[in-house]
């Protein structure tokens, strides 16, 4: 995508889409008579969220005009600007548009430009991979967006959106394509001379003592994989560690799930896909950071040799785990991945996982769940989430919840009962991070959308990249 400065004179500027972002109490910057007629017709009132594409007025070189409302001038919030950016992006990727131009108007700041770039990339994404003969809508032809100022911010947002699209594509691919081997192998598609990657197979994990991770894929014909990315672009600072849950399909194992909507458990690798999408953006943005990123990939299947309820496994940390429910498998792969990244002495660790259905009950689909052993790290992440318009909400962890994991036969059980399921899952993970500042993102409610528009959302790539960028300053 090419981002260019919009010309000052707009009436004689040839473009496929001339965008006017307008407050409710404000007129158009040109073609005012025509604009007044549009408003009088009742089709556009300038309310927040209003968007109208119409033919450009006579005498104007643009093919079409898009009017986008921001509501009252004194009530414009970051959310309204984000909605406006999304409306523009969705109109600009429509058929036949190659160039879109934003008329300079109002305070369309840096954050707006970044959100515009992000939404343009997101709007251009189309899943096509596994269709056969069905005719699909044509791909977007948009190649150039003109705006006044903040071109870098727009490009930056676009790059984050491309990272999120990588996450979405991996999420949307079916489980019979996106296997643990396929998912882990994606690290080879990331290119940067400061990046080194490595994929550990089951034998290598066995040698490291990753009995917990390996217990999850035992019943699958697909071998488990642990992929590691080391980005050394930040001098000799301690690295930031990222860890993602990569269950390419979660049947529940022997504690098998009910059939309804089980197909959506192909999205159970979205934590890993988020790590990959964020790394893609970080590399493209060349952020001066050291990062060690690990994705723990396995398929959770029932079988004659699958792990059974009551089985006890030994994690890489030496701690033993009684697997009371084979459907609580995410924490079993994550704990060994956490122990593994601890070897790099990271400054902090952030893991992300579609970990608990309970998180959807607690927070719905709006906010990612955030749990942490460190207030400063939690606050940084919450601030980045708010700034990136990619919401997160903190839930507590404490010894009281942790006790729910007590087992009569091992150092801990892998479930803590029905109450506070998201919190006890995080308590389980916290037993493997020690004193290292750590945050866990439960993305069960935010990583994908169900229903008619079923598809991976690319969240929380914007939040994560925003946070990494703040760390690079």
- Residue 315: both structure tokens together: 């994690």
| Helix, strand and coil percent figures for the chain, each rounded to 5 | 35, 20, 40
Which residues neighbour 170 within 8 Å (Cβ) at sequence distance 6 or greater? 178, 183, 186, 269, 272, 273, 276, 277, 456
Q: Does 322 bind ligand BES (CB under 6 A)?
A: no
Q: N- to C-terminal Cα distance for the chain? A: 26
Strand spans (E) along 331-461: 348-353, 368-372, 392-394, 412-413, 438-442, 448-449, 455-456
Size of site (CB under 6 A) for ligand BES: 15
Which one of ligand BES, Zn ion, Mn ion, none interacts with residue 415, CB within 5 to 8 A by kind? ligand BES
Q: Does 171 bind ligand BES (CB under 6 A)?
A: no
- Nearer to Zn ion by C-beta: 216 or 468? 216
- Residue 400: both structure tokens together: 């009281």
- Residue 104: both structure tokens together: 């300079």
- Nearer to ligand BES by C-beta: 202 or 250? 250
Q: Does 250 bind Mn ion (CB under 5 A)?
A: yes
Q: Which stretch binds Zn ion (CB under 5 A): 55-63, 225-233, 330-338, 461-469?
A: 330-338
Q: Does 46 bind Zn ion (CB under 5 A)?
A: no
Residue nearest ligand BES (C-beta atom): 357
Q: Does 442 bind Zn ion (CB under 5 A)?
A: no
Ramachandran quadrant class, 421 (left: phi over 0; alpha: psi -120 to 50; beta: rest): alpha
Q: Are 294 and 174 in contact (CB under 8 A)?
A: no
User: Going residue by residue from 219 to 258, which x/- string records binding to Zn ion, judged by CB under 5 A?
Assistant: ----------------------------x--x--------
Report the site for ligand BES in 241-260 (rule: CB under 6 A): 250
Q: Is the dihedral of CA 94, 95, 100, 105 positive or negative?
A: negative
Tell me the C-alpha distance between 64 and 46, whole Å.
Answer: 18
Q: Which stretch binds Mn ion (CB under 5 A): 173-181, 288-296, 323-331, 378-386?
A: 323-331
**3-class SS of residue 281:** helix
Among candidate residues 331, 342, 431, 459, the one labeled active-site is 331
Q: Please, what is the minimum distance in Å from the beta carbon of residue 165 to ligand BES?
A: 21
Tell me the C-alpha distance between 185 and 13, whole Å.
Answer: 47
Which one of ligand BES, Mn ion, Zn ion, none interacts with residue 105, CB within 5 to 8 A by kind? none
- Nearer to ligand BES by C-beta: 44 or 448? 448
Q: Which stretch binds ligand BES (CB under 6 A): 132-140, 323-331, 391-399, 451-459?
A: 323-331
Q: Which stretch binds ligand BES (CB under 6 A): 136-144, 163-171, 350-358, 374-382?
A: 350-358
- Nearer to ligand BES by C-beta: 261 or 376? 261
- Nearer to ligand BES by C-beta: 234 or 357? 357
- Nearer to ligand BES by C-beta: 145 or 363? 363
Q: Please, what is the minimum distance in Å from the beta carbon of residue 329 to Zn ion?
A: 6
- Nearer to Mn ion by C-beta: 197 or 335? 335
Angle between helices 78-92 and 110-124 (to 10 degrees): 40
Q: Are 413 and 321 in contact (CB under 8 A)?
A: yes
Report the site for ligand BES in 182-221 (rule: CB under 6 A): none
Instruction: Tell me, rounded to whole angstroms, the distance of Cα 466 from its chain centroid.
Output: 11
Report the site for Mn ion in 327-386 (rule: CB under 5 A): 327, 329
Q: Compute the CA torsion angle 170, 176, 181, 185 (nearest 10 deg).
A: -30
Q: Does 299 bind Mn ion (CB under 5 A)?
A: no
- Nearer to Mn ion by C-beta: 202 or 250? 250
Q: Does 421 bind ligand BES (CB under 6 A)?
A: yes
Q: Please, what is the minimum distance in Å from the beta carbon of residue 92 to ligand BES?
A: 33
Q: Which of 356, 373, 446, 469 is the binder for ligand BES (CB under 6 A)? A: 356
- Residue 429: both structure tokens together: 């993970």
* Residue 331 a catalytic site member: yes
Query: What CA–CA distances, in Å, run from 136 to 127, 131, 398, 450?
Result: 10, 8, 50, 21
Q: Which of 80, 172, 186, 354 is the binder for ligand BES (CB under 6 A)? A: 354
Size of site (CB under 5 A) for Mn ion: 3
Query: What CA–CA distances, in Å, run from 196 to 179, 224, 290?
Result: 22, 21, 12
Q: Which of 219, 330, 445, 458 is the binder for Zn ion (CB under 5 A)? A: 330
- Nearer to Mn ion by C-beta: 299 or 327? 327
**Exposure pattern of 82-111 as b/e (b: 16+ CB <10 Å)?**
bbbbbbbbebbbbeebebbbbbbbbebeeb
Helix (H) or strand (E) holding 3: strand 2-5
Interface contacts to Zn ion, rule CB under 5 A: 247, 250, 268, 330
Interface contacts to Mn ion, rule CB under 5 A: 250, 327, 329
Which residues participate in catalysis according to the annotation?
257, 331
Interface contacts to ligand BES, rule CB under 6 A: 250, 268, 325, 327-330, 354-358, 415, 421, 444
């Amino acid at each position: 995508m090419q981002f260019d400065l919009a010309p000052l004179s707009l009436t004689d500027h040839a473009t496929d889409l001339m965008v006017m972002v307008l407050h409710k109490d404000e007129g158009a910057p040109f073609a005012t008579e025509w604009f007044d007629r549009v408003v009088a017709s009742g089709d556009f009132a300038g309310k927040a969220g209003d968007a109208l594409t119409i033919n450009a007025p006579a005498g104007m070189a643009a093919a079409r005009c898009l009017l986008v409302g921001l509501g009252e001038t004194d009530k414009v919030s970051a959310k309204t600007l984000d909605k406006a950016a999304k409306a523009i992006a969705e109109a600009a990727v429509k058929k036949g548009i190659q160039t879109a131009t934003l008329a300079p108007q109002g305070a369309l700041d840096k954050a707006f430009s970044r959100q515009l770039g992000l939404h343009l990339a997101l709007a251009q994404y189309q899943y096509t991979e596994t269709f056969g003969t069905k005719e699909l809508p044509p791909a977007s032809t948009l190649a150039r967006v003109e705006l006044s100022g903040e071109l870098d911010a727009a490009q930056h947002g676009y790059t984050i959106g491309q990272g999120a699209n990588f996450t979405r594509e991996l999420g949307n691919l079916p489980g019979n394509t996106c296997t643990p081997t396929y998912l882990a192998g994606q690290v080879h598609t990331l290119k940067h001379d400061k990046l080194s990657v490595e994929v550990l197979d089951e034998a290598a994990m066995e040698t490291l003592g990753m009995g917990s991770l390996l217990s999850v894929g035992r019943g699958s014909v697909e071998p488990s994989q642990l992929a590691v990315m080391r980005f050394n672009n930040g001098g000799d600072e301690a690295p930031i560690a990222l860890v993602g849950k990569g269950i390419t399909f979660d049947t529940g194992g022997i504690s098998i799930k009910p059939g309804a909507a089980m197909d959506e458990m192909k999205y159970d690798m979205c934590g890993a896909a988020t790590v990959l999408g964020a790394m893609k953006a970080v590399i493209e943005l060349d952020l001066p950071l050291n990062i060690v990123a690990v994705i723990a990939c396995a398929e959770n299947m029932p079988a004659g040799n699958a792990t059974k309820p009551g089985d006890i496994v030994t994690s890489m940390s030496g701690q033993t785990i009684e697997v009371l429910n084979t459907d609580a498998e995410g924490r079993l792969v994550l704990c060994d991945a956490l122990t593994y990244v601890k070897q790099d002495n990271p400054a902090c660790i952030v893991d992300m996982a579609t970990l608990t259905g309970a998180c959807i009950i607690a927070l719905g689909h709006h906010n990612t769940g955030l749990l942490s052993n460190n207030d400063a790290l939690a606050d940084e992440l919450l601030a980045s989430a708010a700034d990136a318009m990619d919401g997160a909400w903190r839930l507590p962890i404490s010894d009281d919840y942790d006790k729910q994991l007590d087992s009569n036969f091992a150092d801990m059980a892998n479930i803590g009962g029905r109450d506070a399921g998201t919190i006890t899952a995080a308590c389980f993970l916290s037993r493997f991070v020690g004193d290292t500042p750590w945050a866990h993102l439960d993305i069960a409610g935010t990583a994908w959308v169900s229903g008619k528009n079923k598809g991976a959302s690319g969240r929380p790539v914007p939040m994560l990249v925003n946070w990494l960028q703040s760390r690079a300053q």
